[in-house]
Amino acid sequence: MDTGTHLVMGFALGGLATLDPVIAENTINSHSVLLATIIGSQIPDIDTLLKFRNNAVYIRNHRGATHSVPAVILWPLLITAVAGLLFPGANLLHLWLWTFLAVFLHVFVDIFNAYGTQALRPFSSKWIALGIINTFDPFIFIIHVIGLIIWAFGANPGITFIIVYAIVIFYYILRFAEQWSVKKAVINTIPNAEQIIISPTMRYNKWKIVAITKNQLYVAKAYKRSITIVDKYDRVPIPENEVIEKAKEDPNISAFLSFSPIYRWELEVYDSGYEVRFIDLRYRSKGHYPFVAIVQMDNDLSITGSYTGWIYNKEKLKKKLDVAPR
């Protein structure tokens, strides 16, 4: 989920914690838990700071170690220790329990996005991405905000957020049902599909789709159960040659390939060298595929420029590669 949604969920959990008699009966406990749930709802995304290093490091590590099984155990311990120092006398057991719930819930809801997490590390590095909830879901955010406003006007926060989360759970069930209906519609449209990736959008009835058959890659969109194929590419295996192998050694290309489950590739040969491009097919927007990895090499296969990330225009790409246009 996005930072804003995680934030309002942190506040909501602080309100929900008032159902715990140990928290409700003591101001120190309630204040310490509210602070801890807010921090706990944000702390796994501390790896966002890796963006300041470079995109390759960020893409390879975001929602990785900080969302892993050890992290879900260690973050609550760290936050509880800090909150305990700030609020002497707080009940550490109940503080830890609510902090653990905040951290766990952060990682859990991220699983339902198309981006996903590596939540099973270190047991598995597989990305878990169920693809039923958009990174920012307006309904989930707004219903939390409504709950916070009702709380601010004096309503019982525990009861308020019990109702809010009952509605959210029902909403998730509806989204699973919608996604399943879309998948059945895709199978009817592309019956020989070997793999189908369905990604949500901010619009409830709109979905992005990529389907793989033995010989082709299909990019499609869905509105309710209506499937429209927007692009189709031949499924061509990546060649095994020295240009491609050299490209894979580049950190930007390597990071992209470690993350992207479905992409197409391009190899351009110029008088001055080569350009290898990998294009993720999941993020088509306005006829453009913005998530790419590109490496340029001279005739001696020395890398002259590379980049991975989201690119929406050629001028930005030229600046990122720091090479002259061809």
pLDDT score for 323: 44
In a domain, 303, yes or no: yes
In a domain, 229, yes or no: yes
Q: Do both 211 and 252 map to the same domain? A: no
Partners of residue 306 on adjacent β-strands: 295
In a domain, 132, yes or no: yes
Q: Do both 218 and 252 map to the same domain? A: no
pLDDT score for 321: 63
Containing structural domain, residue 215? 191-234
- With residues binned 3-state (H G I as helix, E B as strand, rest as coil), the percentages for the chain, rounded to 5, are 50, 20, 30
What is the per-residue pLDDT across 25-75, written as a single tens digit (0 to 9) for each?
A: 899 999 999 999 999 999 999 999 988 888 889 888 889 999 999 999 999
Cα angle, residue 286 at apex, residues 284 and 290 outer, rounded to 5°: 45
Last-in-domain residue among 136, 156, 182: 136
pLDDT score for 315: 66
Number of domains forming the structure of the chain: 3
In a domain, 185, yes or no: no
Last-in-domain residue among 136, 170, 202: 136
pLDDT score for 320: 65
Going by C-beta distance under 8 Å and a sequence separation of 6 or more, which residues neighbour residue 259?
A: 59, 60, 127
pLDDT score for 129: 92
Partners of residue 303 on adjacent β-strands: 297
Cα angle, residue 298 at apex, residues 236 and 241 outer, rounded to 5°: 35
Considering only CA atoms, which of 312, 256, 313, 258 is closest in space to residue 280?
256
Per-residue pLDDT of the chain (326 residues; tens, 9 = 90+): 899 999 999 999 999 999 999 999 899 999 999 999 999 999 999 999 988 888 889 888 889 999 999 999 999 999 999 999 999 999 999 999 999 999 999 999 999 998 889 999 999 988 899 999 999 999 999 999 999 999 999 999 999 999 999 999 999 999 999 999 999 999 999 999 999 999 999 999 999 999 999 999 999 999 999 999 999 999 999 988 999 999 999 999 999 998 898 999 999 999 889 999 999 999 998 888 999 999 999 999 999 999 999 887 666 666 666 543 33
In a domain, 84, yes or no: yes
Find tokens 């993720």 and name the residue.
280
* Interior/surface letters 99-110, b for 16+ CB within 10 angstroms, e for the rest: bbbbbbbbbebb
pLDDT score for 322: 55
pLDDT score for 325: 38
pLDDT score for 314: 64
Q: E-strand spans in the chain?
A: 195-200, 206-212, 216-223, 226-234, 263-270, 273-280, 291-298, 303-310
| Dist. CA 181–CA 198, nearest whole Å | 11
| Dist. CA 6–CA 108, nearest whole Å | 11
| Dist. CA 277–CA 293, nearest whole Å | 6
Q: Do both 27 and 98 map to the same domain? A: yes
Q: Do both 109 and 50 map to the same domain? A: yes
